[in-house]
Amino acid sequence: MGAIVIIKNPTDKGDAIKSHLADQRRTVPEGFSIGYSGDWNAAAAMIAGADTWHSVLAGILPEVCMTIVTAAQQGDAAEARRIDATLAPLWSLFKEFSSLRVVYALAELLDICRADRVQSCLCPQQRSARSPPRWNACHRMPAGEQRTRRLVKGTVM
């Protein structure tokens, strides 16, 4: 049986990542990989020295996520934060609706795939005053869908 070689942590408290990471580094063997999920705080985790970002957004927008990781790993925290800031509208949607729902909505809005079968289990039939992100994700981005399309193509960075 294989050994455990990685930890995946949530990033609920962005301001606590650096101390949390330092505590974990003291308790695990050298070479043990420490990663974080919670895309909205991943830049902070990577800047703090995390080894891995367990990203939902990277499944659909890998380039922008890798740009953040690369900047952080090269010690350019300002650039990692700048790029991360362009994603703030998405992070807000992730926290409000869940990252999985938002990514499926984004995939549909960008014509990457249709998520009709998935949507039925993610978005309840009874719609509340806040519509599921399928109907409003890009409209909540600054400049709407066109900005999102540019983000995908890398021109917003």
The pLDDT assigned to 86 comes to 95
CA angle at 84 for the pair 112 and 19, rounded to the nearest 5°: 125
Query: CA torsion sign, 94 to 97 to 98 to 101?
Result: negative
For 52-75, what is each residue's pLDDT tens digit?
999 999 999 999 999 999 999 999
H-assigned helices in 88-143: 88-97, 99-109, 116-122, 133-136
Average pLDDT over residues 95-104: 87
The pLDDT assigned to 18 comes to 92
pTM: 0.74
The pLDDT assigned to 2 comes to 77
pLDDT band at 127 (very low <50, low <70, confident <90, very high): very low
pLDDT reading at 138 higher than 80: no
pLDDT reading at 153 higher than 70: no
